[in-house]
C-alpha cells in the first residue's frame, strides 16, 4: 500500500505519457520517487543513514524492475478487470521493495 501512496504523482505522469516511456522519463520518475521517499521518511524522524539506505534500495528495485512498475501503473490507470501482470509477478515486485526495509 505504501508504494501506491508514493506513486500518486508517478501515476498522474503515466496517464499522460502512457506505458512507453523514454529513458529520460524513467530516470526522472525514479529520481522523483527517491526524493519523495527521502522527504517522507526524514519528516517522520527516521535516521538519515537508514533513510538513504532504504530509499536507495527502493529506487534500485524500481530501476531494475521498471517494466513491471510501468505495467502496475498502466493497469491502475486503465482499471482493468485483469492485471497486466500475474498476481505472482505483482507479489514478487512488492517483496523486492519490502526487502529494502530489512
**15 is written with which cell numbers?**
496517464
Distance CA 99, CA 62 (A): 13
Chain mean position to CA 77: 15
- pLDDT tens string 36-92: 999 999 999 999 999 999 999 999 988 888 877 776 666 655 555 555 667 787 788
CA separation for the pair 3, 18 (Å, rounded): 19
What DSSP designation does 18 have?
A: -
Grid coordinates of 23? 529513458
Question: Domain extents for the chain?
Answer: 2-99
Rounded CA-CA distance 25/21 in Å is 6
Amino acid at each position: 500500500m505504501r508504494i501506491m501512496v508514493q506513486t500518486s504523482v508517478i501515476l498522474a505522469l503515466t496517464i499522460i505519457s502512457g506505458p512507453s516511456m523514454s529513458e529520460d522519463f524513467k530516470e526522472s520518475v525514479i529520481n522523483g520517487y527517491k526524493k519523495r521517499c527521502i522527504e517522507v521518511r526524514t519528516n517522520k524522524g527516521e535516521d538519515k543513514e537508514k533513510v538513504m539506505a532504504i530509499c536507495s534500495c527502493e529506487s534500485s528495485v524500481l530501476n531494475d524492475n521498471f517494466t513491471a512498475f510501468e505495467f502496475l501503473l498502466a493497469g491502475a490507470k486503465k482499471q482493468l478487470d485483469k492485471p497486466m501482470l500475474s498476481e505472482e509477478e505483482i507479489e514478487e515486485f512488492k517483496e523486492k521493495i519490502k526487502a529494502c526495509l530489512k
